[in-house]
């Protein structure tokens, strides 16, 4: 659903209301009442399960200054041919959205997201042909195919930098002259907010770190500086993805879930003595079905329905778990997913909603102290390469 913009800046003069004041006020009151009832209805109906309550106003209507970070989220290579997985890009996007929230500006969001080829192999839905391991032959997808832009805008106002919404703003700002666009680099958030040089500009064009936007949120681990919860973007998938997840959850009934990351994290390399080394030395072992079974026994009782989200492609890999649990995968729901899923990012977003609805959820590796996890290796290891452990 597109919301058309009326661009009215601080410089334009307002014309007097055409309606008599009394009628105008009455109309406004009625419209307001109807809108708020509709809002309340739709929110309690569709978002109570999200665990995060978006505010019920589309903030794009009230604030009309813009913040631009660049045409792409993270652009590591010269031509942005490589990019990180969804989690990394979401960290970056969240960092930018937080700044827009802090500055009370509309965020100009890249209209496409880069799909990493590492994270976009097909075969989860169609598990019948894992040997051919085809790829989704695309390196980008439309942001709107992943996220519900209108839903995001209820918390942080967003426009996409596509012709429909963005070019009009740019041409208007250039017509208005230099003063209305501030090109900045290395200026602090506080200065952008409080120095009139920047705070008065219609558009702040901010050059974000091309390697990873989230570098701009260096204090992001400090809880007090986090304005958006980590659950924010994971609860904002496009409507068709949310609908699919809801259907699947209804079919599953009450269930538990495990997220088993294997392929992408199992990279080993040889050291100078030819010895295999890994950043997550216990991961390969701990994500094998026999170890998973032993590990989760104390958390998930026998006989439960267990939803498994994994990038493991070997057919029947998790079958040994079926003597304890009733196993379910995305591939069990291909009739729901196949018509709507075009890439792995969308699929993972649906799986993530399903995992959020599990009674007990076990991650691959711990992020928070309260998390249950399959493996005790630290997730954020990028330096210490150790000899992998396969024995018990």
Ligand X SMILES: *[C@@H]1O[C@H](CO)[C@@H](O)[C@H](O)[C@H]1NC(C)=O
Residues in contact with ligand X by the rule CB under 6 A: 68, 128-129, 132, 170, 181, 183, 205, 207, 326-328, 332
| Least separation in angstroms between CB 332 and ligand X | 4
Closest CA to 292 of 254, 324, 332, 330: 324
Q: Which is nearer to ligand X, 153 or 205 (CB)?
A: 205
Q: Which is nearer to ligand X, 50 or 201 (CB)?
A: 201
| Least separation in angstroms between CB 174 and ligand X | 8
| Least separation in angstroms between CB 51 and ligand X | 25
Q: How many C-beta neighbours within 10 Å does residue 55 have? A: 11
Please enumerate in sequence order all residues whose Cβ is within 8 A of that of 132, keeping only pairs 6 or more positions apart, or say none. Answer: none
Q: How many C-beta neighbours within 10 Å does residue 392 have? A: 7
Q: Which is nearer to ligand X, 126 or 150 (CB)?
A: 126
Biggest alpha carbon–alpha carbon distance for the chain: 86
Q: Where are the alpha helices (DSSP H) in the chain?
A: 21-46, 86-103, 143-146, 149-153, 168-175, 189-194, 196-199, 239-252, 283-286, 289-296, 334-337, 344-356
- How far apart, in whole angstroms, are the C-alpha atoms of residue 160 and residue 126? 33
| Least separation in angstroms between CB 284 and ligand X | 23
| Least separation in angstroms between CB 207 and ligand X | 5
Q: What is the DSSP letter of 348?
A: H
Residue, CB closest to ligand X = 132
The two three-digit tokens of residue 225, written as one number: 């500086």
| Least separation in angstroms between CB 226 and ligand X | 27
Q: Which is nearer to ligand X, 36 or 129 (CB)?
A: 129
The two three-digit tokens of residue 105, written as one number: 């500006």
The two three-digit tokens of residue 6, written as one number: 């009326």
Q: Which is nearer to ligand X, 68 or 385 (CB)?
A: 68
| Least separation in angstroms between CB 372 and ligand X | 22
Phi/psi of residue 52, nearest 5 degrees: -140, 125
Q: Which is nearer to ligand X, 238 or 308 (CB)?
A: 308
| Least separation in angstroms between CB 303 and ligand X | 13
Quick one: angle between helices 239-252 and 344-356, nearest 10? 50
- How far apart, in whole angstroms, are the C-alpha atoms of residue 376 and residue 369? 11
Q: Which is nearer to ligand X, 120 or 278 (CB)?
A: 120
| Least separation in angstroms between CB 134 and ligand X | 6
- How far apart, in whole angstroms, are the C-alpha atoms of residue 346 and residue 301? 31
Quick one: angle between helices 344-356 and 86-103, nearest 10? 80
- How far apart, in whole angstroms, are the C-alpha atoms of residue 355 and residue 332? 15
Q: Which is nearer to ligand X, 31 or 319 (CB)?
A: 319
Q: Which is nearer to ligand X, 244 or 328 (CB)?
A: 328
| Least separation in angstroms between CB 161 and ligand X | 8
Q: Which residues of 124-145 are buried (b: 16+ CB within 10 A; e: fewer)?
A: bbebeebeeeeebeebebebbb
CB 54 within 8 A of CB 43: yes
Q: Which is nearer to ligand X, 229 or 301 (CB)?
A: 301
- How far apart, in whole angstroms, are the C-alpha atoms of residue 296 and residue 301? 8
């Amino acid at each position: 659903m597109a919301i058309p913009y009326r661009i009215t800046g601080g410089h334009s003069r307002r014309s007097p209301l055409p309606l008599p004041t009394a009628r105008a006020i009455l109309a406004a009151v009625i419209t307001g009442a109807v809108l708020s009832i509709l809002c309340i209805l739709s929110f309690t109906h569709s978002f109570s399960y999200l665990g995060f309550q978006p505010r019920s106003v589309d903030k794009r209507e009230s604030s009309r200054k813009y913040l631009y970070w660049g045409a792409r989220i993270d652009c590591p290579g010269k031509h942005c041919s490589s990019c990180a997985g969804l989690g990394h890009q979401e960290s970056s996007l969240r960092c930018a959205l937080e700044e827009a929230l802090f500055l009370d500006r509309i965020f100009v969001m890249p209209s496409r997201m880069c799909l990493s080829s590492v994270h976009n192999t097909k075969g989860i839905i169609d598990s019948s042909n894992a040997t051919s391991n085809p790829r989704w032959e695309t390196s980008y997808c439309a942001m709107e195919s992943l996220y519900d832009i209108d839903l995001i805008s209820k918390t942080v106002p967003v426009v996409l930098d596509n012709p429909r919404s963005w070019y009009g703003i740019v041409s208007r700002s250039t017509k208005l002259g230099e003063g209305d666009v501030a090109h900045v680099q290395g200026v602090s958030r506080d200065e952008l907010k409080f120095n009139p040089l920047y705070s008065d500009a219609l558009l702040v064009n901010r050059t974000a770190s091309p390697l990873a936007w989230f570098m701009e949120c260096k204090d992001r681990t400090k809880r007090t500086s986090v304005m958006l919860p980590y659950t924010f973007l994971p609860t904002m998938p496009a409507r068709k993805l949310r609908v699919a997840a809801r259907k699947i959850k209804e079919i599953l009934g009450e269930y538990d879930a495990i997220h088993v990351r294997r392929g992408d994290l199992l990279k080993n390399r040889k050291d100078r003595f030819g010895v295999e080394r890994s950043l997550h030395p216990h991961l390969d072992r701990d994500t094998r079905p026999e170890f998973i079974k032993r590990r989760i026994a104390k958390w998930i009782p026998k006989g439960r329905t267990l939803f498994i989200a994994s990038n493991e492609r070997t057919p029947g890999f998790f079958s040994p778990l079926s003597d304890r649990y009733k196993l379910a995968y995305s591939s069990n729901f291909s009739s729901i997913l196949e018509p709507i899923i075009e890439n792995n990012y969308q699929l993972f977003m649906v799986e993530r909603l399903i995992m959020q609805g599990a009674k007990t959820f076990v991650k691959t590796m711990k992020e928070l102290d309260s998390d249950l996890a399959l493996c005790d290796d630290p997730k954020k290891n990028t330096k210490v390469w150790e000899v992998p452990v396969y024995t018990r």
